[in-house]
Amino acid sequence: MTLREFGRSVGGRVLRRIGRVAGSVQERRPIPVDLLESDDALLAVFDAAGATGSDVQVRFSRGAVHVRIDRFRESHEDFEMRFPGRGLSLDGKAEIPDGVTIDPEAATATLTDAGTLEVLLPKVETDATASDAADSLDADDEAIDAADSESVGVGSDA
């Protein structure tokens, strides 16, 4: 083995180790999220680069939208992995603001071409006649099931 081959071998090992550490750090941090509000709904926008519908799980529970993304690395013919830096199992959540009641059964989740997951959560009006129904919606756990498409339907977990 020449000195140059030895250097490449050691360098490759160091890069792979650094990449694994970077991916591990990314997996420990929550997925970045923006929470937007209109008169009729909340919109939670999560970073989801490289995810497909089957990689995504979205759930409403305890006053928050919880997201889990389990991505996979595709192999690329004629290429060798030198720096595995992307985290594969990612989690995040968006807290629903106090005083806002949403309808998780009407929620939708969409993966965009820009690499984001948009979770639209319609608001429920909370007047005197609707307060009992709204309270029960706050207490329920709802799952927003991910399908292998851009739009994601909503299912109940309760």
Please tell me whether residues 107 and 131 are part of one structural domain: yes
- Could you list the residue range(s) of the whole structural domain that residue 111 is in? 31-73+86-156
Please tell me whether residues 102 and 25 are part of one structural domain: no
pTM of the model: 0.65
Please tell me whether residues 24 and 38 are part of one structural domain: no
The pLDDT tens digits of the residues spanning 88-98 come to: 788 999 999 99
Interatomic CA distance for residues 71 and 119, integer angstroms: 18
For the chain, the first-to-last Cα distance in angstroms comes to 62
Number of domains present in the structure of the chain:
2
pLDDT at residue number 37: 96
Beta bridge partners of 154: none
Number of Cβ atoms within 10 Å of the Cβ of 103: 17
Provide the residue type at 155 as one letter. G
The pLDDT tens digits of the residues spanning 24-70 come to: 555 678 889 999 999 999 999 999 888 888 889 999 988 899 999 98
CATH code of 111's domain: 2.60.40.790
Q: How many degrees, rounded to 5, is the angle at CA 155 between CA 150 and CA 158?
A: 150
